[in-house]
Amino acid sequence: MSGIKQESVARFKKKEAVIGIVGLGYVGLPLMLRYNAIGFRVLGIDIDESKVVKLNAGQSYIEHIPGEKIALARKTGFEATSDFSRASECDALILCVPTPLNKYREPDMSFVINTTDAIKPYLRKGQVVSLESTTYPGTTEEELLPRVQEGGLQVGEDIFLVYSPEREDPGNPNFETRTIPKVIGGHTPNCLEVGVALYEQAIDQVVCVSSTKAAEMTKLLENIHRAVNIGLVNEMKVVADRMGIDIFEVVDAAATKPFGFTPYYPGPGLGGHCIPIDPFYLTWKAREYGLHTRFIELSGEVNQAMPEYVVSKLMDGLNERGRALKGSRVLVLGIAYKKNVDDMRESPSVEIMELIQAKGGIVAYSDPHVPVFPKMREHHFELSSEPLTPESLASFDAVVLATDHDRFDYDAISQHSSLLVDSRGKYRAPQAHIIKA
């Protein structure tokens, strides 16, 4: 039986394998480009027909991925499809689909389960199935394993199952898919061997762990580490503010210690698909074992309270100027979840906008990366990005800096705003019209 394994490994090493990437978003597209660039034939599968049409026309729908790269990939063997039966053509099926939380802050596994069910009829001997979506420990074993084996294929002998969490950092110029080490766990040693053969072609360093559960937990620890430390510094920000201390000055000073301290900076809350969501996967799964993850839950509470803290600072600033938030015109700067990207998933800026609107404020936004407010699962504003002219800035009662894009002219923003609420620490020198939040 190990002949199937050896044939699979050989196909990846000779670059004869077809790489199937299911889910062509912020994770799937960079991975497609990497495999395409090193000479693999890549088939992208996505349920969104509009994405498929764009990609096949050589166009990109993600700002930091240039259309020219997609066009070049199309010329060199990349194809996108919404036909899941074509999964049978692929030697590897890499699942890069969303794993959001539902309204009860519980994992919504529907994308992973529906995707696995969609490819299930087309699985065949010699394939490797890799889940990259962030999830709770046990998902690969509990949800994918039984489905992959349903048709009679034996995992570890006929077909191979691995978990290898994505580690994309959109907008970070210092790292790319190739240079970010890849953690991987296999359901069996044979699974791991085939999975390593798949990834070592494309990634400089592959880090093996003993199981899919260990790989799933690794991704959660990475993001919980960030969530807890950001929660800590956000709590410190509130304390420092009451004491008249600038938390950014304190973090900068502490960061000069060459050991034992990693600087984390406060902000208006957590955003993106990972940091605000992933900790709750472990919280949810830990309940099955009778455990309460108090650190995780506490940091979640602190971070979720930050948009309200920013709005309370805005209300204080307006109040000092004899104005109520109700009826005031407020411009929110930056609605992507982090600087220099167009990704709005879980963005705290959107919550700030909703809070302002709920309290009767008239809200607008400016973001060079998001020209029109997109359709989102839970939030909607009929708005387009405001131009940042001196006249436009001066026309608002208050400006809230929520996401500190490099393309903003910070001198002009300060000069022409009557009241500026800075949630990112961009303005370090005290100024009468600037409130730190």
Catalytic residues: 274
- In whole angstroms, what is the distance from residue 207 CA to residue 200 CA? 10
Look up residue 58 and give its two tokens.
């050589």
Dihedral in degrees, nearest 10, Cα atoms 49, 53, 55, 58 = -170
- Identity at 393, one-letter amino acid code: L
- In whole angstroms, what is the distance from residue 154 CA to residue 191 CA? 11
Distance of CA 194 to the CA centre of its chain: 27
Look up residue 358 and give its two tokens.
């709920």
**Structural element, H or E, at residue 184:** strand 182-186
- In whole angstroms, what is the distance from residue 428 CA to residue 356 CA? 25
Burial of 241 (0-12, 13-18, 19+ CB in 10 A): middle
Question: What DSSP state is assigned to residue 398?
Answer: E
Q: For the stretch 86-105, what's the b/e string if a residue is b when 16 or more beta carbons lie within 10 angstroms of its beta carbon?
A: bbeebbbbbbbbbbebeeee
Residues 57, 26, 305, CA angle at the centre, nearest 5°? 140
Start-to-end CA distance of the chain, whole Å, equals 62
- Three-state DSSP string of 60-94: CCCCCCCHHHHHHHHHCCCEEECCHHHHHHCCEEE
- What are the residues whose beta carbons fall under 8 Å from the beta carbon of 242, sequence distance 6 or more? none
Helices (H) and strands (E) in the chain, counts: 16, 13
Is the CB of residue 437 less than 8 Å from the CB of residue 404? no
CA atoms within 13 A on the CB side of 138: 10
**Structural element, H or E, at residue 414:** helix 410-416
Is the CB of residue 269 less than 8 Å from the CB of residue 201? no
